[in-house]
Every structure is written in C-alpha cells, then in structure tokens.
C-alpha cells in the first residue's frame, strides 16, 4: 500500500483509494440523474439532451473499465513472458 494513503481518518483513506476516474463516474451519474429528473419534472431539456448525458456517462464508464482491463492484460502479458523465458532457460540446461 502506498505510504501516502496511510491515515487514521476513514474519509482520507476512502478518497485516497478512489481513482479519479471513479470520482468522475459518480459525478456523471449524479448529473445524469439530475438531467433525467429535470426532464420528467421540469420539462426543461428535451429527451435527446437527457439521453445524450446518459450516453456520455455510459461511454465514460466503458472507457474506464476498458483501461482497467487493458492494464490487467499488460500485467498478465509481462508475467507470461517472464514465465516463458524461465521455461526456455530450463529447457536449455
């Protein structure tokens, strides 16, 4: 664990563990709920604007998840290459 995240305050620990993408996702989710509620109760934005906010939020969530998956794949690829190198060294002896 990163030393900068060590703190006795629970709120600081939670904020430190959250990534900036997670914070943006929650903000976009709140904005989406607000715009949809505004459409249903206030008749201010048109349905296309409400859907656009929802779609942008969803695309950002997908992008965030894909970047996490990409990171996991890169780590797995490095581990697999190291394992393959060990097997090749073992076979040459």
Q: How many domains does the chain divide into?
A: 1
What tokens appear for 90 in the block?
């073992």
Predicted confidence at residue 3, as pLDDT, reads: 47
Q: How does pLDDT run across 45-88, given as a tens digit for each residue?
A: 777 877 888 888 888 888 878 877 888 888 889 889 988 888 88
> Are 65 and 59 spatial neighbours (Cβ–Cβ below 8 Å)?
no
| Nearest of 27, 82, 17 to residue 56 by alpha carbon | 27
Full domain range(s) for residue 12: 3-92
Query: Does the pTM of the predicted model rise above 0.85?
Result: no
Quote the pLDDT of residue 18. Answer: 57
């Amino acid at each position: 664990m990163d030393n900068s995240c060590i703190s006795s305050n629970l709120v600081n620990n939670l904020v430190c563990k959250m990534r900036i993408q997670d914070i943006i996702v929650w903000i976009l989710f709140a904005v989406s709920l607000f715009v949809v509620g505004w459409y249903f109760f206030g008749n201010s934005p048109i349905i296309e604007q409400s859907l656009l906010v929802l779609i942008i939020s969803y695309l950002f969530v997908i992008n965030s998840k894909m970047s996490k998956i990409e990171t996991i794949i890169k780590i797995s690829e490095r581990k697999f290459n190291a394992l393959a190198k060990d097997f090749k060294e073992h076979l040459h002896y």
